Chain A
Amino acid sequence: MQIRNGQDFATGLFFIAIGLGAYWIAADYPMGTAMRPDTGVLPKALAWLLVGTGLILAGKSLFIDGPRLTGWAWRPAIMITIAAVAFALLVDRLGLVLTMLVSMTLAALGTPETRWREYGLFAIFMVALGVAVFIYGLGMPIRVLPQGLSWR
């Protein structure tokens, strides 16, 4: 037996994994009665449907040729995610300016193409734009600088 369509096979496994996981979590959700379906009905039904879909896909991938799964872009995937997470964790503590600088720099590390001098100018422009538009223009309740340095 040989996997002929790596992409579909992986998708099938992905669906099966999510389906089983969802079923496991939903296992103790109440089902209610046929007349009054309760919390658990749809989650469990969807979990099975996902598993079924996954099985069909994985099964099919054993017989029909298709593309393989290739070309993962680890660097941008990781750095962009970290950049978003950094924004979330820092914005309430450090204020908009520092958060933007940290988050955008992390994102810039995500691609080898970044030219640091150009990025520096761009970062200054973006910080100015961000503060002008969101803090002064739209009055969002985010502080500009860390607490202790300014109240906003």
Chain B
Amino acid sequence: MRRREFLAMAGATAVTGFSIPRVSAQVANWPERPVKLIIPYAPGGGSDLIGRPWAEALSQAFGQQFVVENRGGAGGMIGTEAVAKAQPDGYTLLATPGATLTVLPHLRKAPYDASKFVPCGRTGDFVTGFSINAQVGPKTFAEMVDYAKKNPGKLSYGSAGLATATHLRLEMLKYRAGIDILHVPYRGSADALNDLLPNNVQMMNEINNIPHVKAGKLHLLNINNSTRHWDFPDIPTLTELGHPDSDVPIWYSIQGPPGLPQEIAEKLNAKMLELSKTEGIQKSLRGVSAALQPMTTKEMVAFFDADSKNNAALIKAASIKLE
């Protein structure tokens, strides 16, 4: 080896760390040091609400810190890309909504291959449904569909942005119920709520509507989830209303970078399934209107594929485009 090559090698080893061999021992003892949990959005957002309680619960359960790191940007793609390129040693994981993995790649050239991520566990789904401003009139799902059919194009719907899960929910509703509702994209759900309350737009589908449903300003029409909402036992799910497979779930999960040893994923998954049964995590999630949907890693792979396919079909049918 010539001297320059040797120096380059030495440099490379110094930069990448001395972590290339010794894999099996590391896997067995994982986690031996703090684990970085990257959330690909700014602090205070929905991913934080679900990711932070999990980080705390996992830290306690494993006796090692799970440190949350918010890395926002490009609709979640920057943080997701960072994990995709991280060492698959189990010390950098992604806590993400489905959007970055099963929605964005169908719309934009993503700098990562979503199917290569290693699922570790589902962390929860936001539970909410379509709501309509009380000034409009309709109080139930059927009445709303009826109203929309009689007044085509009169209702407007505020989403958190183009191609967000709540936008897809509207497209699904329009398609399944055969009605015409104007889609108005906003910068985030709070921005949309600001136009929903004075009835500038009439409908939304976000968790920030729930307090206003309770205050009587909005009517909750249905629940986009497999089960009803614990605070609204009388509001039916979409499936119960005769529209199965139309929920477009807003689901969150922890994913490992491509190449993460399956043993680590299973170890984490087992602990997460265990934690899912505890009151602590259930309560934190209920507080933000989220529910647990525990799954094994195998189930997650199937779920992931189905969700990705559904979204791709929906995006195509509604001809949603991002550049």
Taking the closest CB of chain A, its distance from the CB of B71, in whole angstroms, is 9
Once bound together, how far apart are the Cα atoms of A93 and B14, in whole Å?
11
Once bound together, how far apart are the Cα atoms of A151 and B69, in whole Å?
15
Asked if residues B15 and A141 are in contact (CB atoms below 8 Å), the reply is: no
Asked if residues A147 and B36 are in contact (CB atoms below 8 Å), the reply is: no
B17 interface residue (CB < 8 Å to A): yes
Residue among B15, B33, B67, B69 making CB contact with A93, cutoff 8 Å: B15
Asked if residues B15 and A146 are in contact (CB atoms below 8 Å), the reply is: yes
Residues of B within 8 A of A141 (CB): 36, 67, 69
Asked if residues A147 and B16 are in contact (CB atoms below 8 Å), the reply is: yes
Asked if residues A151 and B33 are in contact (CB atoms below 8 Å), the reply is: yes
Taking the closest CB of chain B, its distance from the CB of A98, in whole angstroms, is 12
Given contacts A141-B67, A141-B69, contact A148 B34 (CB under 8 A): no
| Contact code string A79-117 (vs B, CB < 8 Å = 1, else 0) | 000000000000001000000000000000000000000
Residues of B within 8 A of A146 (CB): 14-15
Once bound together, how far apart are the Cα atoms of A61 and B218, in whole Å?
60
Asked if residues B17 and A147 are in contact (CB atoms below 8 Å), the reply is: yes
Given contacts A141-B67, A141-B69, contact A148 B36 (CB under 8 A): no
Taking the closest CB of chain B, its distance from the CB of A31, in whole angstroms, is 16
Q: How many residues of B contact A (CB 8 A)?
A: 11
Give the secondary structure class of B's interface: mixed
| Contact code string A104-132 (vs B, CB < 8 Å = 1, else 0) | 00000000000000000000000000000
B18 interface residue (CB < 8 Å to A): yes
Interface residues of B in 13-55 (CB under 8 A from A): 13-18, 33-34, 36
Taking the closest CB of chain B, its distance from the CB of A27, in whole angstroms, is 15
Taking the closest CB of chain A, its distance from the CB of B78, in whole angstroms, is 13
Taking the closest CB of chain B, its distance from the CB of A70, in whole angstroms, is 40
Residues of A within 8 A of B18 (CB): 148
Q: How many residues of A contact B (CB 8 A)?
A: 6
Given contacts A93-B15, A146-B14, A146-B15, contact A151 B34 (CB under 8 A): yes
Residues of B within 8 A of A93 (CB): 15
Asked if residues A147 and B15 are in contact (CB atoms below 8 Å), the reply is: yes
Once bound together, how far apart are the Cα atoms of A151 and B15, in whole Å?
12
Once bound together, how far apart are the Cα atoms of A48 and B14, in whole Å?
52
Most B CB contacts (10 A, CB to CB) among A93, A141, A146 go to A141
Find the B residue at minimum CB distance from A148: B17
Find the A residue at minimum CB distance from B82: A92
Interface residues of A in 38-83 (CB under 8 A from B): none
Interface residues of B in 247-263 (CB under 8 A from A): none
Residues of B within 8 A of A151 (CB): 33-34
Once bound together, how far apart are the Cα atoms of A148 and B13, in whole Å?
9
Taking the closest CB of chain A, its distance from the CB of B183, in whole angstroms, is 13
Find the A residue at minimum CB distance from B36: A141
Interface residues of B in 108-151 (CB under 8 A from A): none
Residues of A within 8 A of B16 (CB): 147-148
Residues of A within 8 A of B69 (CB): 141
Once bound together, how far apart are the Cα atoms of A141 and B36, in whole Å?
9
Interface residues of B in 170-224 (CB under 8 A from A): none
Residues of A within 8 A of B67 (CB): 141
Once bound together, how far apart are the Cα atoms of A151 and B18, in whole Å?
11
Taking the closest CB of chain A, its distance from the CB of B106, in whole angstroms, is 21
Binding site for B on A (CB under 8 A): 93, 141, 146-148, 151
17 A-B pairs in the complex with CB atoms less than 8 angstroms apart: A93-B15, A141-B36, A141-B67, A141-B69, A146-B14, A146-B15, A147-B15, A147-B16, A147-B17, A148-B13, A148-B14, A148-B15, A148-B16, A148-B17, A148-B18, A151-B33, A151-B34
Q: Which 6 A-B pairs have the closest CB atoms?
A: A148-B17, A141-B69, A147-B17, A148-B14, A151-B33, A148-B18
Binding site for A on B (CB under 8 A): 13-18, 33-34, 36, 67, 69
Given contacts A141-B36, A141-B69, 9 further A-B contacts (CB under 8 A): A141-B67, A146-B14, A146-B15, A147-B16, A147-B17, A148-B17, A148-B18, A151-B33, A151-B34
